Amino acid sequence: MQFEFTDPQTEFERLIGGSFSINALGTIRAGDGLKFREFVERSAPPPRTTVYIDSSGGNVEEAMIIGRIIRDCWFSTSIGRYLLNRNEISDVSHLMTARVRLPGRCMSAATLIFLGGRLRYFPQGSEFGVHQFSFKNPSPNDVGQTQLLSARIARFMADMGVSPDFLEFSSSVRSDSILIADEDNLKKLSVVTGGETDTSWTVQARANMIYVRGERDSLYGHHKVMLGHTRGAGFFFWAVIEAQGREDELTTLGLVEIVLNGEEERIDISNRCERVVSGIYVNVFAKITQAEAQAIAHSTSFGVQIRFWLDSPTFLGIAAMPTAGGTEQLETIYDAFSKDERTLPRTS
């Protein structure tokens, strides 16, 4: 497989960012996983770089290695090629170099590379082809190996946040055939995400606290919102915001609000929240009342907005995440600890 890296071509592109891309082209061969790792270390693309794939497939094991590197590097994936187009001249050519997106094919094992993207795009004119994964030259000894390979593929897909139905869908097509999947079906199977993933809800516990966590990846960053309870201290709200270079604003702007049900309800926590930078994230933590915890637990969505002032038209933070998929967990954690909350000593 051939890998090509394009970085910003002008000072203006370097200033605004977002002009990085990788092309992954051709057949996937033995050793391409190591080749890609060395390529990434050498070219050092930033997180959120998009990897454009144009490949008919190849080595399944190498494809999964490349897919995991893409996930670990926080890259997105798309189909086709993204190329510099120096022949096109425009009025802003001194500011930005023209680029062209060409449609492409993502087939067989290449689909596993595609799954590595934290965000996964399906441009118009793309082709995404699936079938059973198997060894190229099967033998009686390969039966057991094929079963192990299938287990590794299933684990890989689960780690990438893809519906287990996708493996069943792929396995329904004989290895000597290929099925071109449509975009709508790939969205239903969580293969194609577009600019935002679905929110996943889990229950976590550590250090005498338990919380329900909603997690989502989007163009605006990797974000988490949590409703939890700490023994002896009561309910809390916690948000983890990928700062994307806005640490100063996220920790100093004056107004901090929990937003519920879209933006219909707001809880001002400006004077009682802690904001702490941790790596690429800003943590926002606040103790909340039982009534506030109840409102969050029974909301249709919640997030956090950080702004200059009340009437500011823009905000940083996390747009309200839908609680669908986490409703039972949120309501359960509230119901389980609301009685404990009533027994806590009151402070003035």
Q: For the ranges 58-67, 101-110, 166-175, which has the lowest average pLDDT?
A: 166-175
Instruction: Give the model's confidence band at 219: pLDDT under 50 very low, under 70 low, under 90 confident, else very high.
Output: confident
Q: For the ranges 106-110, 130-134, 263-267, which has the lowest average pLDDT?
A: 130-134
**DSSP 3-state of 283:** strand
CATH 3.40.190.10, domain 2-188, yes or no: no
Domain chopping of the chain, boundaries = 2-188, 200-342
pLDDT for residue 92: 55
Q: Which CATH number fits domain 200-342: 2.60.40.1880, 2.40.30.10, 3.40.190.10, 2.60.40.1260?
A: 2.60.40.1880
Percent of the residues in the chain that have a pLDDT greater than 90, as a whole number: 73
Mean of per-residue pLDDT scores for the chain: 90
Instruction: Give the model's confidence band at 345: pLDDT under 50 very low, under 70 low, under 90 confident, else very high.
Output: low
Instruction: Give the model's confidence band at 348: pLDDT under 50 very low, under 70 low, under 90 confident, else very high.
Output: very low
